[in-house]
Amino acid sequence: MKRAKEALVLLLAGGVGSRLNILVQKRAKPAVPFAGVYRIIDFSLSNVMNSGLTKVGVLTQYKPLSLMSHLGSGEAWDLTGRSRGIKILPPRTGEKESDWYHGTADAVRRNLDFLEHNTAEEVLILSGDHIYHMDFDAMIEYHRSKKADVTVAMMTVPKSQIHQFGAGIVDRHDRIVEWEEKPKVARTNLASMGIYVFDYRYLLDSLARDREENDFGMHILPRAIAEDNVFAYPFYGYWRDVGTIQAYWEANMDVLRRDSGISPQKWQIRTNVDTEGRLADRSPARYGGNCRLQNCMISAGSRIEGTVINSVLSPGVVVEEGAVVKDSILFEDCVIGRDAVVDLAILDKRVRVGERAVVGCGDNHGCANLRKPSHLYTGISLIGKGSSIPSGMQVGRNCVVDSGVGEDKFSGKTLADGESLINRDKS
C-alpha cells in the first residue's frame, strides 16, 4: 500500500492577517507567538512531522523575515536530511500591489516550479495560521480510499458562524454536492478548515486550466464539485482560526483550561528553541516569596514577584512586587513594574509598564476601539512591541498603543476607553 509520506505539503503562510492589528505590525501572522513558547505555525508543522510527511514548501509573502528565521533549516520539526526537507518559497512580488498574490490558488500557481520538481501522489495544502491537532496520514488514506480528485477537511460549527467559512453540503457518502463560500444564509453547518488534499496531476491541470481562478474556495472547489469527485473528510477535534484578536485571546486561554481540548504537550507540538532570544539560553523561571500564581503559564527566564492570574507569559517576563497580571497574554521580555496592573491585555515583546500604571482600567468593556471597532470590542487592550507605559498611567479598555511608543508620547495620565496612541515617528 502507498504511504501518505509520498505526498507533498504546501503550507500557505503569506497572509497579512490584518485583524490581529499591531500583533502583525512587525511579523507575519503565522509567526505570532502563541501559548508562551510556540508560534502559530508550529502547530501545522508539527502535525506534518507527526504524520510522517517529509517534504514541505512554505509560501511566504507578508513581512516574512521573522517567520523565515523561526523556520530555519526545519531541524526543529525533523525536516532535514537527504529524503526530507523544508523549502521556504519567498515572495514573488514586485513593488505594485497588483504583483501580490491574489488568493490561495494564485499563490500555489506562482510556485508551480516547486511542484514540478517534487512530483508526488498527492499535494496536501495547509494554512499556517490555525491551532489544531490532526493526523494527515489518515486524511490522505481516506482521500485514496474514496478515489477522490480533491478532499476537503471539514467540521461542524454553529450555523451562526458559517458565514465565516466555506460551506459544503454532502450526500450520504460524504461526497460534496454543493458549495458556498462564506454564505450569508446558512444551509449547512459543515465548514471548511482550509485543509485540502489534491491528486497531484489534478491540481496541476486545475491551475493551468484558468489563470483567472485565484482562490481555492471561491473558484477551484466549486468547479471541481460540479465536474469531478470531491469529498469531505470529517474532523471532530480541536481547531481554531486565530485570525482575530478575540479568537487569539480565547485560544490562549483554552491552553489554561483542562477541559478545552487543546494540549500542545500531548499533541507533541515542537518549536524552534534556538530562535534568537527564545528558549535555548534561558534560565529556569524564578518565583519570589510573596508571589501568587493561579491558573497561569510561566515560561523560562521569567521572574515573578507579584501576582499572575489566568494569564500566559512568554520567556523572560518580569512581574515585580505588588504588580498584578490578570486575564492577559505577555510576549517575551515584558517588564511589569512595582504595583502596576495589567488586566485583559495583550503585550507584545519588550513592553515596559511603569510603577503603579494600569493597562485595562475600568469596567467599560463594550466601548469598542474608535479606529478599529471590529478588532477590539470586548475589553482587550493591545500594547505594541517595545513600547513603554509611564508610571501612574491609566490605559482604558479596547485601547491600542502602537509599537515603539516611548513614555514621552503620552500626554496626561489617561488613555481613554477605545482610544489609540499612534507612533508618528515610525518610518
Phi, psi of 279 (to 5 degrees): -105, -30
Contacts (Cβ under 8 Å, ≥6 apart) of 34: 40, 42, 43, 131, 242, 248, 251, 252
Residue 188's identity, in one-letter code, is T
Return the CATH number of 286-421, one of 3.40.50.300, 2.60.40.10, 3.40.50.450, 2.160.10.10: 2.160.10.10
- pLDDT recorded at residue 275: 74
Q: Where in the chain are the domains? A: 4-256, 286-421
Contacts (Cβ under 8 Å, ≥6 apart) of 387: 348, 351, 352, 401, 402, 403, 404, 405, 406
Residue 352: Cβ within 10 Å count: 21
8 A C-beta contact, residue 403 and residue 387: yes
The C-alpha atoms of residue 288 and residue 293 are separated, in whole angstroms, by: 11
Contacts (Cβ under 8 Å, ≥6 apart) of 305: 288, 290, 291, 319, 320, 321, 322, 323
- pLDDT recorded at residue 427: 46
- pLDDT recorded at residue 1: 45
Q: Which residue in 289, 348, 295, 345 sits closest to 317, CA to CA?
A: 348
Half-sphere exposure of 288 (CA within 13 A, CB side): 15
- pLDDT recorded at residue 102: 74
Return the CATH number of 4-256, one of 3.40.190.10, 3.40.50.2000, 3.90.1010.10, 3.90.550.10: 3.90.550.10
DSSP 355-366: TT-EES-SS-TT
Q: Please list the ranges in the chain whose pLDDT falls under 70.
A: 1-5, 91-100, 276-278, 426-427
- pLDDT recorded at residue 26: 87
Q: Indicate if the alpha-carbon torsion angle 250, 252, 255, 256 is positive or negative.
A: negative
Q: What is the pTM of this model?
A: 0.94
- pLDDT recorded at residue 276: 61
